[in-house]
Structures are given as structure tokens and as C-alpha cells.
């Protein structure tokens, strides 16, 4: 607990703003790519998890709501949930769903499919979200990606929110696909430990 707060201790506000913007104009969802590329770049270039450790706004949001505001039971999470099987399995699942989303985007780009202005929560529930889209200068595929990507972001936030309430505030960090991926990159890059 450093005495003085740094600029990056307020990135939770950015995460929150991102989620709110998605309720007004879906094209803002594209900004979420930053949460994918920045941690990957830091892991690849610098070989550490500074993103998780310092900058992750979502983690800060969970520790604020679950920790400071106390919306968390603060219980230990079940053993299977922190096992590598689950972490890597969840990462693989996330990858598959992500590529399905990209495929769907491609279909709309190529004109084989019409735009679906819905946000799919937990890969199952298709919520109408059409008021956030008013057309674009480019292909409808641009919007399709935005709807798909926002679905990913909202779904992971909802999952993280549930595990925040049930277990520790930042339980999401244990099975966060980005965290798992950056740790794998770091493991591959790091000098061998004795």
C-alpha cells in the first residue's frame, strides 16, 4: 500500500466508463481492444505482468466494489477453480468463442449474413441492443465486431462480478484469460529458475 496514489490507481474509472459507453454507442466497444493489446505487448516486450499488477482497471473496479464497498463474502474460492486445468481450459474456451465471434464478424463483412444488433451474455442470452447503433460510414461488419467484442467484455465482467461476490474481490484475476495468457508468455520468456 503505497502512501501516495498514482495516476494508474484511477484506471477503474476508465473501465467503468467503457462499460457505460457500450450502453449508448456500441462502436466504443472497439476501445476494449486496448485491454487485449496492452497486456500482451507488456508481456512480450518487457516480460512482466505490469498490466495485471498495476494498470488493470477491471481488477481495480472489483477490489473497489468488493473490497472498499464490501460487496464480497471474502471466502476462499474452490480448489478446482484455481487449478491449471480450469485456468487453461477457460483460456481455451475463451479463445474458441473469440474466434467464433471473429468468424461471425467476417460473415457480416462479406455480406453472407445480416448484422445482428444483439449483445450475447454468457454466450447464451441474446439481449436486444439495437439502440446503440445508428449506422456507420464503413461496413456493418465494423458494428458486428463491436457487438461481439462488447459481449465478451460484458460477459467477463458479469462472471467476475459473481465470483467477486461469492469469493474474494479479485477472484476474476485467478481465471482471467488475459492474465493466464500473459503469465504463460512470461513463463516462456523468463530465465529458468533454480
Partner 1 sequence: MAKRKAAVSVRECVACGCCMKVCPRNAITVPNGLHATINRELCVGCGKCVKECPASIISLEVADS
Question: Under the rule (CB under 8 A), what is the footprint of partner 1?
Answer: 1-2, 43, 47-50, 52-54, 59, 63, 67, 74, 76-77, 82, 87, 167-174, 176, 179-180, 182-183, 185-187, 189-191, 193
Report, in Å, the least distance between residue 82 CB and partner 1.
5
- Give the residues across from 120 on adjacent strands: 126
Report, in Å, the least distance between residue 71 CB and partner 1.
15
CB 66 within 8 A of CB 169: yes
CB 171 within 8 A of CB 160: yes
Question: Within 13 Å of residue 60, how many CA atoms lie on the same side as its CB?
Answer: 19
**Nearer Cβ to partner 1, position 155 or 182?**
182
**Nearer Cβ to partner 1, position 87 or 147?**
87
CB 161 within 8 A of CB 61: no
Report, in Å, the least distance between residue 168 CB and partner 1.
4
Report, in Å, the least distance between residue 159 CB and partner 1.
14
Q: Which of 17, 83, 63 is nearest to 52 (CA)?
A: 63
Amino acid at each position: 500500500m503505497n502512501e501516495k496514489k498514482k495516476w494508474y490507481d484511477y484506471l477503474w474509472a476508465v473501465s467503468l466508463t467503457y462499460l457505460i459507453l457500450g450502453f449508448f454507442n456500441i462502436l466504443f466497444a472497439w476501445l476494449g481492444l486496448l485491454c487485449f493489446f496492452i497486456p500482451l505487448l507488456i508481456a512480450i516486450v518487457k516480460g512482466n505482468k505490469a498490466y495485471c499488477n498495476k494498470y488493470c482497471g477491471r481488477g481495480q473496479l472489483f477490489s473497489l466494489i468488493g473490497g472498499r464497498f464490501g460487496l464480497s463474502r471474502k471466502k476462499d474460492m474452490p480448489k478446482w477453480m484455481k487449478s491449471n486445468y480450469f485456468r487453461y481450459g477457460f483460456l481455451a474456451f475463451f479463445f474458441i468463442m473469440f474466434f467464433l465471434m471473429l468468424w461471425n464478424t467476417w460473415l457480416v463483412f462479406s455480406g453472407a449474413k445480416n448484422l445482428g444488433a444483439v449483445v450475447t451474455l454468457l454466450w447464451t442470452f441474446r439481449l436486444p441492443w439495437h439502440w446503440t447503433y445508428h449506422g456507420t460510414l464503413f461496413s456493418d461488419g465494423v458494428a458486428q465486431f463491436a457487438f461481439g467484442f462488447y459481449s465478451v467484455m460484458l460477459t467477463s465482467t458479469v462472471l467476475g462480478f459473481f465470483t467477486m461476490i461469492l469469493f474474494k474481490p479479485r477472484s476474476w484475476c485467478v481465471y482471467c484469460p488475459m492474465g493466464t495468457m500473459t503469465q504463460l508468455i512470461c513463463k516462456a520468456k523468463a530465465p529458468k529458475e533454480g
